[in-house]
Chain A
Amino acid sequence: MTTLTSAARRRRPLSRPRPLNWGRIAAWAALVVAILVTVGPFLWMLRTALSNNHALATQSSNLLPADFTWGAFARVFGLQSQAEAQAEGGSGASISFWQYLLNSLIVSTMITVSQVFFSSLAAYAFARLRWRGRDKVFAVFLGTLLVPTIFTALPNFLLIKNLGLLNTYLGIALPSMLMTPFAVFFLRQFFLGMSREVEEAAMLDGARHGRIFFQVVLPNAVAPLATLCLLTFIAAWNDYFWPLLVGNAPAVRVLTVGLGVFKSQSPQGAPDWSGLMAATLVSALPILLLFIAFGKKIVNSIGFSGIK
């Protein structure tokens, strides 16, 4: 490779400028199309959210917001009176995304903090401790990845109901708080790759596993723990099916469930598109902000978690 390219480099100044490489142009064109197809809908979401719902129909192909207004956002946060909302094409039904935003934040944080912590404990036992049956237990843990969500969802719904936890934050969060196979797997992989030297030195000094875990292993695993926290938080934030089953009451409704309700309240004939897009934007924004801040971490984690 090196010899080839250096030879080519030496030859290039002598020859004429390279003819257009059509393959390469086509490849770039395909990439640009892919990016436009990806980003375009998000811009359209923003454009719609900033439009007056009544004006959407008449200016449907104008690329700028139709009769620019913040009204849709005010409507979504319950800041418009019923008359104002209806004047701008809303349904007038009371809806408060502040509450949903708060609920999503509480539930996702509960799940993230406790799932990552308990999973890291288990991952340490699978990666570092020697005990009979370890690999078998781990295989069984991993096997649960194949169990479809709906299969456990029905009995889990009954369990949460019997515990009296329907329509509580704990009821929504509990099944994901103690472990997920993915989190255990992800951290175990990382712990296996960590150098044992420091841990062994600490062990020789007579430190117990508890101390080694908290004072040596966790501080050295800040990066993967942060990545896992991000992935867990995003997954919890985006979940729809389970919160729909156990948390449909307005007081605990998370954003995804709230969006479904908002959509179904919208009149069939003339839906409140700007309100709906403002609501989706509000729901997506925290994740998009996280992504802008930590995008590289998330992108790089995909190869790791998926393949190795």
Chain B
Amino acid sequence: MTTTSVGAPKPTRHTADSEGPRRSVRRRSLGDLRVALIFVAPALLGFVLFYLVPTIRGIYLSFTDYSILGNPIWVGVKNYVKIFQDKLFWNAMGVTLEYVLLNIAFQTVIAVGLALLMYHVAKSTLIRGILLMPYLVANVIVALLWFWMLDYQIGIVNQVLQWMGMPRVAFFGNEFWAIPTVAFVNVWRHMGYTALLIFAGLQAIPGHLYEVANLDGASRWQTFWKITMPLLRPVLLLVMVVTITGSFQIFDTVAVTTQGGPINASRVIQYYIYERAFSQQDFGYGSALSVILFVILAVVAFLQMKFLRGNENDLD
């Protein structure tokens, strides 16, 4: 944060006021603030109106009873107490956690594999572009596409399963399979994007490290675990943070396919909040649920940063 003075060594206040050139330097720094305010004003307005105030209002509403009609009534921690006794909330947390874990595990492994293929086998932009395609299409579209392909009666995947002599699976309609299926659909959409992030990380690893390892007779397997993975840590961490915060907020796929079902098998937390706030008009309760989600995400991000030392790089 260097604030002032390019050519003026430590101007004290009275000399700055009395001497011409230094005064102009000081005026410019003041002038910058005024200009900066004009430049930042629209974004700042957006930040205050749609991020800051809603955050405060959201926390306030979580302590109230509020159906959109009428005024919020202060009820203290009643909503939070109710949440801890709410079986559907714990169910939603469990289901969401299952989804997050499946998502991270499969997505990270597949994406690292794809990134290595992009890096070592085919460096063409076309191939990277093709693999990125699903990510650019809306969640809703991807969800509906797979809803059709995984249909129990005439979906192509079940046709293939039957052809291979395996039993049909009601992917979206079975309590056991609903969440793994939603996770699969999202891994399909995100794997190319995640692989590209990791690919960019691979490109940043200096080539001479591999040459040295080669000369020392390291096997590919050793090079991968001793050089590639440690140096990818910052990128992998970023990918994990993005994946985890994103997966906790899974909504679109569930909303257009299972709608939380069968029974409660895929009622993930954001869908549950949506139902409480908008279908049942219980805004206070919905706000309290989303405060809890917010806290969980903040803690997760903080822990990841702290324990995986994501802001450090072994190259520096």
Contacts and interface: CB of A to CB of B under 8 A. Distances in A.
B240 interface: no
A146 B154 contact: no
Contacts of A306: 196-197, 200, 235, 238
A288 B114 contact: no
Interface stretch (A69-77, A78-86, A173-181): A173-181
B46 A118 contact: yes
B129 A280 contact: no
Nearest to B193: A302
A260 interface: yes
Interface stretch (B13-21, B28-36, B76-84, B223-231): B28-36
A125 B36 contact: yes
B55 A122 contact: no
A134 B43 contact: no
Contacts of B256: 240, 259-260, 263
A31 B32 contact: no
B117 A34 contact: yes
A122 B40 contact: yes
Interface in A21-42: 24, 27-28, 30-31, 34-35, 37-39, 41-42
A64 interface: no
B130 A118 contact: no
B307 interface: no
A119 interface: yes
A287 B137 contact: yes
B165 interface: no
Interface in B123-165: 125, 127-134, 136-141, 144-149, 151, 153-154, 156, 159-160, 163
Interface residues of A, number: 94
Interface string B214-248: 10000000000000000000010010000001001
Interface string A136-152: 01001100101111111
B297 A148 contact: yes
A295 B129 contact: yes
A44 interface: yes
B273 to A, nearest CB: 5
Interface in A119-174: 119, 121-122, 124-126, 129-132, 134-135, 137, 140-141, 144, 146-152, 154-156, 158-159, 161, 174
A184 interface: yes
Interface string B27-70: 00100110111011011111101110111011001000000100
Taking residues whose C-beta sits less than 8 angstroms from the other chain, chain B's interface range is 35 or more
Contacts of B294: 147-148, 151
Contact of A299 (B128, B147, B270): B128
A303 interface: yes
Contact of A125 (B39, B58, B290): B39
Interface of B: 1-4, 29, 32-33, 35-37, 39-40, 42-47, 49-51, 53-55, 57-58, 61, 68, 113-114, 117, 120-122, 125, 127-134, 136-141, 144-149, 151, 153-154, 156, 159-160, 163, 188, 192-193, 196-197, 199-201, 203-204, 207-208, 211, 214, 235, 238, 245, 248-249, 251-252, 255-256, 270, 273-274, 277-278, 283, 286-287, 290-291, 293-294, 297-298, 301
15 contacts: A61-B163, A121-B40, A122-B39, A122-B42, A146-B298, A147-B51, A148-B248, A158-B283, A159-B50, A177-B46, A178-B42, A260-B255, A260-B256, A291-B133, A299-B125
